[in-house]
Amino acid sequence: MILEGKQLIGAQAVTAQGSPIHAVNPATDERLEPAYAAGGKPEVEKACELAWAAFATYRESGLEERARFLETVAEEIEAIGDALIERGMAESGLPRARLEGERGRTCGQLRLFANVVRAGEWLDVRLDPALPERAPMPRVDLRQRHIALGPVAVFGASNFPLAFSVAGGDTASALAAGCPVVVKAHAAHPGTSELVGRAVQRAVARCELPEGVFSLLYSAGRELGQALVRDARIKAVGFTGSRGGGTALLKAAQARPEPIPVYAEMSSINPVFLLPEALAARGQALGEAFVGSLTLGAGQFCTNPGLVIGVKGEGLDAFVAAAGEAVKGAAAQTMLTPGIHDAYTQGVDGLVASNKAREVARGPAGEGPHACQAGLFVASAEDFLREEALQAEVFGATSLVVECADQEEVKRVAEHLEGQLTATLQMDDGDLETARGLLPILERRAGRVMANGWPTGVEVCHAMVHGGPYPATSDSRTTSVGSAAIHRFLRPVCYQNLPQGLLPEALRDGNPAGVSRLVDGKREA
């Protein structure tokens, strides 16, 4: 498969006129071919025009047709074969097993959404039949379903070249909702993006959908993305990345004549609470297991455990000692981009410069140019509560252990936390009461609360919430992973007294679409 370095706009591949972007192999600093000439306003204009034109047809595609399309995208991605894995490895520095797993997750996610589309729960059908005899006023027939918002702009993430990029979770859930998608590829992995983008193009063609259902644009810098978010035909935005990047898009979307929702998954330090009984029973084992989660993928996960909280004492000492040893032995892994490695180094230097965080251990420096040297630091709860800087996310394999005087101080630290994607309890049976005291604090601050696991590893399923209060995300009412992600791209419409011939199929008498319905407030079998 030969990469062409072109923008994929509808069914076309177009050479843009901007400065060339090259991927760089972060393991070697080698520049990778081809060049991708950056797109600009003409490409945004054309992609949005096609997306808008496709919207009318695509949003009313049948459930089975749309499900088949999502499955076809998965098939086409698998059909790329090993070329996708190899290009992904070269562009991201991620190992083969990780990218193979990520491909499986990406295709599994597309197939999950295919089944979600078929099941039709997302339509949230509600019927309130007419009550012509009701006094003093009759009730007219009222029916509700959800419809697609419109074309969606999706921004590829640096840290998931497949699962949160061109055909990742945002794209899959938007397409499932009936929204055409215009993706801005992440500049760090343009070749991987082109391969996946071509696969989606082929799926659109095979399913005979309007070409504007999907486009893929390339650019460095923020200009093209901002133009995309400002385009009147874009009706929602999906983004995974930094707090700065996410809030910039949020501001642009809010400043439009017609503001639109932005689903930005931004920053989280994913606190882990070590409860007393668990610490006493298995402080050392927890320390070792913790570093496995901390250093996974060079710590480049939104759910990386960047903060550990426990009460001072033998158990916590054992945890810190074991974790420190494990960090010293954690092989340095190449980070995704030179920029991410620079930011990581600065973040760690900031911890050191604060004079409030004591260095427990650093990992080996590693050999490549952008290897992530893991780190473990300790601070007192007092300092943590006082210094805002200690709460900032350091994206990479560094974590801070906060030592508390007692369980009351643990609570104060919990209350002090910003919004998070996850919160973790390490607990034994004897910790149940302590956990009960923390849970209400944690569920108010996090999208997912777990016991005796580690936050890395996000299951793609129906009950998952990969979201949380600001600044973890820009919209705590949603999730970007799992089937509920489809709701981000839908809005309700009520149909009053419409003749059967005019009603959408899911709302007609006799339930011809066979979907779950709420009739007079009661769930129909």
- In order, the DSSP letters of 87-100 are HHHHHH---HHHHH
CA-wise closest residue to 238 among 26, 514, 487: 487
Q: Which stretch binds its own copies (CB under 8 A): 134-142, 281-289, 336-344, 352-360?
A: 134-142
Compute the half-sphere exposure of residue 170: CA atoms within 13 Å on the CB side of its CA: 30
Distance, CA of 262 to CA of 260 (rounded, Å): 7
The contact mask relative to its own copies for 195-234 (x = CB under 8 A, - = no) is ----------------------------------------
Distance, CA of 10 to CA of 49 (rounded, Å): 10
Q: Which stretch binds its own copies (CB under 8 A): 13-21, 122-130, 308-316, 335-343?
A: 122-130
Tell me if 517 sits within 8 A of 524, measured CB to CB: yes
**φ, ψ for residue 396, nearest 5 deg:** 145, -170
Distance, CA of 332 to CA of 226 (rounded, Å): 36
Tell me if 479 contacts its own copies by CB under 8 A. Answer: yes
Nearer Cβ to its own copies, position 14 or 451? 451
| Least CB distance to its own copies at residue 248 (A) | 13
CA 434 from centroid of its chain's CA atoms: 31
Which residue of 23, 127, 234, 311 would you call a contact of its own copies, by CB under 8 A? 127
Q: Which stretch binds its own copies (CB under 8 A): 87-95, 125-133, 238-246, 370-378?
A: 125-133
| Least CB distance to its own copies at residue 508 (A) | 14
Nearer Cβ to its own copies, position 353 or 493? 493
Distance, CA of 489 to CA of 153 (rounded, Å): 11
Tell me if 327 sits within 8 A of 292, measured CB to CB: no
Distance, CA of 289 to CA of 272 (rounded, Å): 12
Per CB under 8 A, contacts with its own copies among 484-513 are 484, 490-499, 501-502
| Least CB distance to its own copies at residue 429 (A) | 8
Tell me if 142 contacts its own copies by CB under 8 A. Answer: yes
Alpha helices in 330-405 (DSSP H): 338-353, 381-386
Using left for φ > 0, alpha for ψ between -120 and 50, and beta otherwise, residue 444 falls in: alpha
Which residue of 292, 432, 509, 512 would you call a contact of its own copies, by CB under 8 A? 432
Catalytically active residues are: 265, 302
Compute the half-sphere exposure of residue 272: CA atoms within 13 Å on the CB side of its CA: 28
Q: Which stretch binds its own copies (CB under 8 A): 187-195, 214-222, 253-261, 298-306?
A: 253-261
Per CB under 8 A, contacts with its own copies among 37-96 are 56, 60
Which residue of 2, 82, 133, 440 would you call a contact of its own copies, by CB under 8 A? 440
Nearer Cβ to its own copies, position 274 or 465? 465
Bridge partners of 220, per DSSP, are none
Tell me if 450 contacts its own copies by CB under 8 A. Answer: yes
Q: Which stretch binds its own copies (CB under 8 A): 87-95, 204-212, 258-266, 342-350?
A: 258-266
Tell me if 132 contacts its own copies by CB under 8 A. Answer: no
